[in-house]
Structure 1
């Protein structure tokens, strides 16, 4: 048994596959997963990994009380939330109503500020927040070229431009992902999320706004000064499919500060699609981080 030694771990779960991936890793580390599902995560299941309940945003206070009753002391955030809570438009439960002033202050600002505020509030409620990588370190992106094919010269140029733009975007707390070509910036992620951004790129290509000579790269980069306990950039099999649709031939991620879900399957899918997949080790020396281009 791992360091959890039977301790209950609260998984504040959104949508997607990540909550179950984290639960599986938690079990291997000796934790007992307990799911509190919100937003995109409600209506789902935890595939037998642990007990769980759905909570509307208006029942956030009830979730805190329930986790306490379940003797949960440590919690981890994971999963997608496509729409942030709007407490002004909800009919809150009494447990949430008591916490409403704090809730309204939490949801102001960009995503990074929201998560920092939420983390600080939960810590004041007596919970300890763990990062996903503390429970499932195998999800962290290694440095260097991960795919069979290394990025070519034009792709290196596109990766460098996208990485630099993603860092600048992150300073604004506006998004984590950028698509660039070897000639220009193509798309910046906003509140719509990476998936919608990729659809925009696919549409631009279909309408001839991106010419055939451009080599496109997607970079998902951790924000400068981001709290690494939550919302690290991530990719999965669906990202590879979306990249194919958008005509993207190279993908870069922050090495050691981003997540690859189902690593072996993602790398295999990238290889089948002839996509160069790279862990970017720093904001400097992109070519060095990926090896010399062929």
Structure 2
């Protein structure tokens, strides 16, 4: 079996994929991104002779290709987040990436990563799905928690999915936060958790502003309503990159923000630490549902 190249971003995703690939007996060559990858990846390599780690900067596309060629890698996978603002601000492209960037009609992540995938393919390196070896972590359809969404939350889900699919189609973001069928926040470059935090802060600001108004009637406004978070896959989601992921950190962010419901895309969203995630959601009274 040929070696697998792992282009590792931040978070736990690269580690989960690395462990799953090694459990299948696959040798893994990790291209660790200096600006993103957790340094603990080195510990895994020291403990397992079947893992080799090479550190590269985000813009070093030629070095990435040369590294995979020297290591005999013909299949590669992207796993882990690379912050959108990193891609378009901190990046210092080498000649190959600079040429690629100049050729793009639009500078969104889909277009960029798709172009990188084509360059890799032209060099004999097939980019495969980022869910490779991790299919059991994909969310099954249905209610995952003890509590199902209530009537208000279900209306927010129905409305929010329409909005989320629209913005995802333009590669703006994949998450919206809704209260009483009104958009409180839309994810852009800041990422899912930051969008949820922004929604929570905004709602708290509105509550604080209204608390001194004796004439207001909070129960007749949206100010005391809870937040529903909707995360979708893109209408033409390329499973090789940017697959929706939900983990413990997002759930904790929701709890702090006052969100009570999470709707995600069934079979196209990875759930990390599912048992603990669902347990914590049940404790917090948060409903989680995967929608087909």
Q: TM-score, normalised by structure 1?
A: 0.85
Deviates more, 1:257-266 or 1:236-245: 257-266
**Structure 2 CA distance for aligned equivalents of residues 150 and 89 of structure 1:** 43
**Structure 2 CA distance for aligned equivalents of residues 76 and 148 of structure 1:** 35
Give the match for residue 266 of structure 2. Answer: 255
Matched residue SS, 2:113: helix
**Structure 2 CA distance for aligned equivalents of residues 33 and 234 of structure 1:** 22
| Structure 1 position 238 matched with structure 2 position 249 | yes
Matched residue SS, 2:158: helix
* Aligned positions of 1:273-284 closer than 5 A: 273-281=284-292
Q: Is the 8 A contact 2:180 2:222 kept in 1?
A: no
Deviates more, 1:77-86 or 1:105-114: 105-114
| Structure 1 position 75 matched with structure 2 position 92 | no
**Structure 1 CA distance for aligned equivalents of residues 236 and 151 of structure 2:** 30
Of the three residues 239, 243, 255, the one matched with 1:228 is: 239
Of the three residues 283, 287, 292, the one matched with 1:272 is: 283
Matched residue SS, 1:73: strand
**Structure 2 CA distance for aligned equivalents of residues 158 and 86 of structure 1:** 33
CA deviation after TM superposition for structure 1 residue 133, in Å: 1.9
Distance 1:30 1:248, change over 3 A: same
Deviates more, 1:249-258 or 1:53-62: 53-62
Q: Is the 8 A contact 2:232 2:244 kept in 1?
A: yes
Question: Which segments of 5 or more consecutive residues in structure 1 lack a partner in the other structure?
Answer: 282-294
Give the match for residue 41 of structure 1. Answer: 37
Matched residue SS, 2:140: coil
Matched residue SS, 2:41: coil
**Structure 2 CA distance for aligned equivalents of residues 12 and 106 of structure 1:** 22
Q: Is the 8 A contact 1:181 1:216 kept in 2?
A: yes
Deviates more, 1:174-183 or 1:206-215: 206-215
Give the match for residue 62 of structure 2. Answer: 61
Distance 1:44 1:100, change over 3 A: farther
Q: Is the 8 A contact 2:142 2:289 kept in 1?
A: yes
Of the three residues 149, 159, 162, the one matched with 1:161 is: 159
Q: TM-score, normalised by structure 2?
A: 0.86
Q: Is the 8 A contact 2:197 2:254 kept in 1?
A: no
Distance 1:191 1:21, change over 3 A: same
- Report Cα offsets for 1:216-274 as digits up to 9, x if no partner: 21111011112122111111000010000111101011101111111112111111111
Q: Is the 8 A contact 2:61 2:96 kept in 1?
A: no
Q: Is the 8 A contact 2:11 2:38 kept in 1?
A: no
Distance 1:199 1:98, change over 3 A: closer
Question: Which segments of 5 or more consecutive residues in structure 2 lack a partner in the other structure?
Answer: 46-50, 208-220
Q: Is the 8 A contact 1:20 1:47 kept in 2?
A: no
Q: Is the 8 A contact 1:158 1:215 kept in 2?
A: no
Q: Kindly report the root-mean-square deviation, in angstroms, between the aligned alpha carbons of the 2 structures.
A: 2.2
Figure out how many residues of one structure are paired with residues of the other and give that number.
272
**Structure 2 CA distance for aligned equivalents of residues 46 and 280 of structure 1:** 38
**Structure 2 CA distance for aligned equivalents of residues 182 and 86 of structure 1:** 35
Larger Rg: 2
Give the match for residue 87 of structure 2. Answer: 85
Distance 1:129 1:47, change over 3 A: same
